[in-house]
Amino acid sequence: MKNNIKLLLSTLALTAITQVANAKEPKRPNVLFILADDYGWNDLGCMGSKYYETPNLDKIADNGVRFTNAYSSCQVSSPSRASIMTGKYTPRHGITDWIGEASGEQWRKTGRHSKLLPADYEWNLSAEEYTIAECLRDNGYTTFIAGKWHLGDKGSWPEDHGFMINKGGWTSGSPNGGYFPPYKNPKLEDGPAGENLSIRLGNETVDFLREHKKKHKNKPFFAYLSFYAVHGPIETSKKNWSYFRDKAEQMGIEENGFVVDRTLPVRQTQDNPVYAGVIKDMDDAIGLVMNELKKLGLDKNTLVIFTSDNGGVVSGDAFSSSLLPLRGGKGRQWEGGIRVPLLMSYPKCNAGTVCDVPVIGTDFYPTILDYAGINAIPEQHKDGISIMSILKENSKTERPLFWHYPHYGNQGGEPCSIIRKGDWKLIYYYENEHSELYNLAVDLSENEPINIQYPEKVKELETELMVWLDEVDARKPVADPLYNPKKEAAIKLKWRTKLLYEQEKLRKDMLRKDWKPNDDWWQSSLTND
C-alpha cells in the first residue's frame, strides 16, 4: 500500500512538471541546504558567541532571517536527519536513535547497567518514504549531496533516496579518518596531505555549482551540503589552534570549566581552541560556497538554509562547547540538546529579520516545496508546516511540538518524551514515570521544575503528549529484569569523579602553549602553518 502511495506521489510530481512547462512559469528557485553536525545554538557570532568566529554564517544572518526558537527533531543525529528528509516526527519514520547504537537486550553489552532497555528502532531510512530529494528530483531538480548521510547502510545511501550526485555520504555518522586524509570514506576520494575535510566538501559543492551552471543553465538544483563538522573527533590546523589558544588566554581562562549535571560533567566555558578551529574551517567552507553562488549569479534565485542536526556537545563525545544559558547539549532532553541555530536567506527577504516563532526540522520539507511553488504533500510531510507561511503572516502559533527519545545517550540523555506548547515545556521520563514542567519564557535555563505551582498544566500537557505517542505508535523502553542498581551507581560515581578530573585536565592541556595533539592530525601543518 505504501509503495503505491509513493508511486502516486511521484506520478503527481511528474504531472506538475508538465503543467509548469506548458504554463511557461518562471524558473523555479534553487535550494542550498547547509547542515552542520552537533553544532550548538550559540556556537555562532550572530547567536552571541564572543569566542568562536563565524563571519560567513553571520553574513547569512545579516542578509536573511535568524531564528531564535528553532529545534531539531531529536537530540541526536540520525533521527533528526530522517525528519528533515521525510517531514515526519521520529516515531513515524522509526529512526529514534543514531544508527548503530545498541538497543533492547544488546544494550547490556555497553556496560551502562541502566534501569531500562532502550526501544528497538529502524537502522535504515525506509524506501517507502518519499524524501524531499526524491520530490525535488521528480520536479525537475538536479539533486546533490556533499558530506554526511548516516541514514542507513549500503542500499539506503543518498543515491537510493533521490540524490543524483553523492560526494561523501554513506553509512558512517562520523569522519572515520578524521578531518584530514586518509578519510576512510568509500564515497569520497582522498585529497592531498593536509587537506581539510570541511574545505573539501565546500569545494565539492563549488565544483557542482560550476558544472551545473555550465551544463544545466535553466534547470534548478537542490544542493545538500551536510558537514561532518563539528562532530568528533575534533581536529584542526596548528595555525587555528594557536590563534584560538591565544584568544582564550586574552579573554581570560576560567579555573574550572565543568560541573556535573545529574550524570556527566558538562562544559561551562567556550574556550576549546581545537573546537573553535573546527568551526572556523566549516565557516570558511561555507564562505567558499556562498561566494561562488554570487559569482555565478545564482544567489539571485537561491533559497539558502543553514541549521544543525542537534544541539552542541557539552558532555560526552569531545566535551567541546558550552551552550549557556541553555541547559545540557547533544543527547540531552533540555534546550541545549534540541534547540539549534537556523538561518535562512532568499531573494527579496527582509534582511536582518529575527523570528521568535518556534519551528522544527519537520518544517523544512513543506517550506522548500512552498518556496519552490510545488504543491504540498501533506500525506508525506504530515508533521511539518511551511516556515515561509510563518514569515509571511508573522504570526505566533500555539501548535504543539513533540520529541520522542526512548534511549540513553552517551552524552547523558535519558529515555523521555517531550512536548512544547507556547512557552510551556514538559519532559516525561520513562525511568520513574514522572514529568518536569518548565516555562521557557521565565526559565530558559530549565533550572527549576514548576510542577507544584501548575498541576493542571502538567496534567494537560501529559495527556496531550500521551495521546500523541499513541497516535504515532511510539515504541517505548522496557524495564530490564537484570537491572543492578549498585553497578549503575558505581559507574555514575566514576563519571562524577574520574571523568570530571580527566576532562578538566584535558581542557587545561589544550590551552598550554606547549600542547601537542595526536600525530595523526598534526600533519595539517604541512599546508596550514
Report the alpha-carbon distance of residue 509 to residue 257 in Å, rounded: 12
Instruction: Report phi then psi at 160, rounded to 5.
Output: -90, -5
Write out pLDDT tens, residues 372-406.
999 999 999 999 999 998 888 766 667 999 999 99
Q: Which residues pair with 307 in a beta bridge?
A: 35, 342
The full set of domain ranges for the chain reads 29-415+477-528
Q: pLDDT of 226-249, one tens digit each?
A: 999 999 999 999 999 999 999 999
pLDDT score of 3: 55
Output the pLDDT for position 517: 83
331: which DSSP letter? T
pLDDT in tens, 432-481: 999 999 999 999 999 999 999 999 999 999 999 999 999 999 999 999 99
Rg value, the chain, Cα: 22
**pLDDT attached to residue 216:** 87
C-alpha cell at 397: 502559533
**Collapsed DSSP state (helix, strand, coil) of residue 359:** strand
* Three-class SS of 222-258: EEEEECCCCCCCCCCCHHHHHHHHHHHHHHCCCCCCE
What's the pLDDT tens digit per position in 57-74? Answer: 999 999 999 999 999 999
This prediction's pTM: 0.94
Distance between CA atoms of residues 152 and 78, nearest Å: 9
Residue 64 neighbours by CB distance under 10 Å: 20
Chain-centre distance for alpha carbon 300: 27
Is the torsion defined by CA of 479, 484, 489, 495 positive or negative?
negative
Cβ partners under 8 Å of residue 84, min gap 6: 35, 73, 132, 309, 361, 362, 364, 365
Counting beta carbons within 10 angstroms of the beta carbon of residue 176, is it exposed (0 to 12), middle (13 to 18) or buried (19 or more)?
middle
d(CA 348, CA 345): 9
Above 90 in pLDDT, residue 21? no
* 185 within 8 A of 177, measured Cβ to Cβ: yes
CA distances to 229, 309, 344 from 226, rounded to whole Å, are 9, 10, 16
**In terms of Cα–Cα distance, which of 275, 236, 280 is closest to 45?**
280
User: In this structure, are strands 401-405 and 416-421 parallel, antiparallel, or unpaired?
Assistant: antiparallel
The yes-or-no verdict on residue 487 having pLDDT over 50 is yes
pLDDT digits (tens, 9 = 90+) for 265-311: 999 999 999 999 999 999 999 999 999 999 999 999 999 999 999 99
pLDDT band at 528 (very low <50, low <70, confident <90, very high): very low
Q: How far is Cα 324 from Cα 328, in angstroms, rounded to an integer?
A: 8
Which are the contacts of 442, defined by CB distance < 8 A and separation ≥ 6? 423
Superfamily of domain 29-415+477-528: Alkaline Phosphatase, subunit A (3.40.720.10)
Q: Categorize the per-residue pLDDT at 217 as very low, low, confident or very high, splitting at 50, 70 and 90.
A: confident
| DSSP H or E stretch at residue 80 | helix 77-86
Q: Where are the alpha helices (DSSP H) in 383-472?
A: 387-393, 455-471
% pLDDT > 90, the chain: 89
pLDDT of 17 over the 60 cut: no
Tell me what pLDDT residue 516 has.
85
- The pLDDT tens digits for 310-338 are 999 999 999 999 999 999 999 999 999 99
Q: What is the reported pLDDT for 247?
A: 98
**Coil, strand or helix: which one is 142?**
strand
Residue-level pLDDT at 27: 81
Residue 171, SS3 per DSSP: coil
Query: Span 101-130, mean pLDDT?
Result: 97
